[in-house]
Amino acid sequence: MVDTNLDAFRFSISWSRLIPNRRGPVNQKGLQFYKNLIQELVNHGIEPYVTLHHFDHPQYLEDEYEGWLNHMIVEDFTAYADVCFREFGNHVKFWTTINEGNIFSIGGYNDGDSPPGRCSIPGQNCLLGNSSTEPYIVGHNLLLAHASVSRLYKQNYKDKQGGSIGFSILTIGFSPSTSSKDDAIATQRANDFFNGWMLGPLIYGDYPDTMKRIVGSRMPVFSEEESEQVKGSSDYIGINHYLAASITNSKLKPSISGNPDFYSDMNVILSFFANFSSSEYDVAPWAIEAVLEYVKQSYGNPPVYVLENGRPINRDSQLKEKDTPRIEFLQAYIGGVLKSIRNGSDTRGYFVWSLMDLYEIKGGYDVGYGLYSVNFSDPHRKRSPKLSAHWYSDFLKGKTAFLGSQGITELQSNLSPYS
C-alpha cells in the first residue's frame, strides 16, 4: 500500500470472526488481528475505511432465527457495531454499516446465488426461501439495523471520535434502449427498484411510490418512528459501480415460478454490456457519470464515496495482457468521476476494487480485479504488482498526464482522502 502511495484503504470486518455466537464473548484473536491491521495502517498514514457487514454474519444467528429475516438481528448487529466502535473507533473515522444492501438482499434471498442462498425460483436448487417476500424483508431489516447503529454512534461515540456513518449500494448505469416513452418510464422504474429501494428511505424516510404500488402488501412498512430514524441516518452514501445496462420495458407477466419476485416486480428487460464473471468488459464511463448525476438530482446531492470500481480479467490471461484493459478502464472511470465533480456531484472519495486478487462472490478465483496478483499456491501468498499497480501508483503521485495537471489537482482536492 505504501509503495502504491495509497492514503486510504477500505476493508471489511468479519462479524463471524469477532463475535461467533450472538452475544457471546469477543474472539480476542480476531480483535487483535483487526487492531494490528488498523494500527499498521495509521502508522503509515493510511486512513482506514471500515465496512461492518460484507455479505457474512455468524452461522449461529442463521440457525437460531434465520438471520436477516428476523427483526431480532437489528439488536444483535447494533451490539456487534458497539464492540467495533469501542475497540477501533479511536483510529477509524469512516464506517460503512452495510455493503451493497440491495445486492445482498437480491442475491441472497431472491436469486439464491450468494449467501445465504435462499430463493423460490425454479432451477436454482435453493432448499429454503421465498423470492416474493424475503428480499424486501431483508432489505427492510438492513435499513433498520443501519439506522440503529447510526443512532448508537451519534449518541455514544461521535462527539469523542468524530467519525461518519454510511451505507453502500451497488449501482448500475441504466439507459433506455430506445427513445420511446415506455422505455423511459421503465428506466425510471429500474432506478427506483435498484437504487431508490435503499436510497429513498435513507434520504426521504420511505420507499419509492413505484415500489410500494407494485409490491403492495409484500412491501414492509416503516412506522412513523422508524421512518424518522432511517431518514438522514447516513452521513454519506457508498456507491459500488461496475456495470452499464440498457433498459427495455417489459409487458407485465408472471415470474417463472408463477409467483412474483424482485425481477417480475421491476418488470424490465436488462441488457448488460458485461457481467461480473466475464473478462469481456465495455469501457462505459458515462455509466458512472449517470449514476452520480442520478444521485445528485434525485436524492439531494448527498456526500458520496465510490467505494468500489474496477474491472475483472481472467487470471490465466493477465500476465499476457499485462492488464492494460484494466488501466484503460480505470483511466476512463476516474475521468468520469472528475467530470461528475465538475458538474456538481458531492463525490468525496474513490476506491479501486481491488488492491489484490481475492476470492470473488461471482467468479471465485477464476477472475481477478486486483492491482496486485496473488500466488495462491504459495504458502506465503506472494503478491506481485501488475502493470495497473504501477500506473495507479503514478497517478496517485501526480505523474500520469491523462487528466492533465489541472484535472489531477482537482481530484486531489475533492477526493481527500482517496485511494
Residues recognised as catalytic: 100, 308
CA angle (336, 341, 345) in 5-degree steps: 110
User: Which residues lie below 8 Å from residue 153, measured CB to CB, with a gap of 6+?
Assistant: 81, 85, 95, 163, 165
Per-state percent for the chain, helix, strand, coil, to nearest 5: 45, 15, 35
H-helix or E-strand spanning residue 296: helix 285-298
Helix (H/G/I), strand (E/B), else coil: 281: coil
Q: What is the 3-state secondary structure (H, E, C) of 106-130?
A: HHHHHHCCCCCCCCCCCCCCCCCCC
> Which residues, other chains included, contact 130 with Cβ-Cβ below 8 Å and sequence gap of 6+?
118, 120
Give yes or no for a contact between 274 and 281, defined as CB atoms under 8 angstroms apart. yes
* Residue 370 cell numbers, joined: 486486483
- On whether the CB atoms of residues 350 and 337 are closer than 8 A, the answer is yes
Rounded CA separation 247/263 (Å)? 13
- List, in sequence order, the alpha helices (H) in 58-156: 59-65, 72-88, 101-106, 134-156
Handedness of CA 250, 173, 274, 134 (dihedral sign): negative
CB 241 within 8 A of CB 308: yes
Q: Measured on CA atoms in the order 226, 229, 232, 238, is the torsion positive or negative?
A: negative
Half-sphere exposure of 126 (CA within 13 A, CB side): 21
Cell 427483526, located at residue: 71
Helix (H) or strand (E) holding 38: helix 28-43
Q: Is the separation of the CB atoms in 337 and 306 below 8 Å?
A: yes
Contacts of 11 (CB under 8 A, 6+ apart): 37, 48, 49, 50, 51
